[in-house]
Amino acid sequence: MSRPRFLPDNFTLALLTTVLTASLLPCSGSIASALTTLTHLAIALLFFLHGAKLSRQAILAGAGHWRLHLVIFACTFVLFPVLGVVLKPVLSPLVTDDLYLGVLYLCALPATVQSAIAFTSMARGNIPAAVCSASASSLLGILVTPLLVKLTLGAEGSTGSTLGAIWQIVEQLLLPFVAGHLLRPVIGSFVDKHKARLKFVDQGSILLVVYTAFSAAVIEGLWHALPLSALLGLVVVCIVLLAIVLFATSRVARLLGLSKEDEITLVFCGSKKSLASGVPMAQVLFAASSVGAILLPIMLFHQIQLMTCAVLAQKYGARKETPAPVLAPEAG
């Protein structure tokens, strides 16, 4: 029997288990240092494999939809941050100050790649455009996210400057990604054949970072400073942000006269935020003791967006095909 869409997926359950483990058995000292080194290697491998998975043909097929891509990027890197700042007087009383910093960080992140493409495919949207847009957003985020963090939070990376943080992210994420993509002609068939198994590299690297981040936060007293009311308030904040963006993307698509396929791509690529990019970037941009609280909003938003978009994708996918117009035969 398949699992109902409203229940958490296996990865979400693994995330919850990881947070619980870090809360009860946090790592410290030499073990924490060793795990930090291991997580850096795992994240580099993660983005190397992302690059190897990316088909150049799919990029070229979707690159021509420049107007659609611009609207998606505007939703990801303009609409979200503006909402985070403008709604702060209304939403910040629902959570702690540290959690709202995490909300602003969430708003600065790039879009997801895998889930945006998967939901676009399920909903019968413009898949080549989704591949191109989601991949470009992930790469743009390496440069744009640190700048947005500096602009909205005033936070700087552990290197001491925004440019230093960008370069550190480039080293950890972009260079492995480019290397993987350049080697796709050599290893692409292997990666495509073993996608299901390599998924554990993706998820395992994120779980490692989450464990080390929450271990440091727990040692610093995260749960003592975080009331249950703030966690419930965070659920409300994430739902409000997602609802506004989903409404805005669907309305903009119709105002611009986009096709239903392009509307679907805009809705699913423009409303997503990437946990896979957000976790390693947070390690660079924030102090180790604050990363746990910073990551809570994106972890929660991740699950809410998956459940909501699964329902939307099914609704879009169940639509009837528009019949092609029948041309009258020529006279004579």
Give the 3-state DSSP-derived string for 225-278, with helices as H, strands as E and coil as C: CCCHHHHHHHHHHHHHHHHHHHHHHHHHHHHCCCCHHHHHHHHHHHCCCCHHHH
156: tokens are 């700087």
Per-residue pLDDT at 45: 84
Is 230 a residue whose pLDDT tops 50?
yes
Amino acid letter, residue 61: A
Is 327 a residue whose pLDDT tops 50?
no
Is 319 a residue whose pLDDT tops 80?
no
In a domain, 204, yes or no: yes
Would you say the C-alpha torsion 173, 270, 242, 92 has a positive or negative sign? positive
In a domain, 221, yes or no: yes
Range of the domain at 107: 10-317
Nearest to 265 by CA among 83, 58, 81, 82: 58
In a domain, 94, yes or no: yes
Average pLDDT over residues 2-7: 55
In a domain, 331, yes or no: no
Amino acid letter, residue 14: A
Backbone φ and ψ of 64, nearest 5°: -75, -15
Per-residue pLDDT at 325: 46
Confidence band of 196 (pLDDT split at 50, 70, 90):
confident
In a domain, 274, yes or no: yes
Q: What would the pLDDT profile of 139-180 be if each residue is shown by its tens digit?
A: 898 889 999 998 888 654 444 566 777 787 888 788 888 898
230 CB-near residues (< 8 Å, 6+ apart): 94, 95, 96, 99
Confidence band of 275 (pLDDT split at 50, 70, 90):
confident
254: tokens are 């119709």
Report how many domains make up the chain: 1
In a domain, 5, yes or no: no
CB distance 194 to 306 below 8 Å: no
Per-residue pLDDT at 238: 94
What percent of the chain has a predicted confidence (pLDDT) above 70? 90
Q: What would the pLDDT profile of 20-55 be if each residue is shown by its tens digit?
A: 898 888 888 888 888 888 888 888 887 888 788 877
In a domain, 2, yes or no: no
Backbone φ and ψ of 320, nearest 5°: -80, 145
State how far the Cα of 270 lies from the Cα of 160, in Å rounded to an integer: 31
Q: What is the CATH number of the domain that holds 174?
A: 1.20.1530.20
Per-residue pLDDT at 138: 86
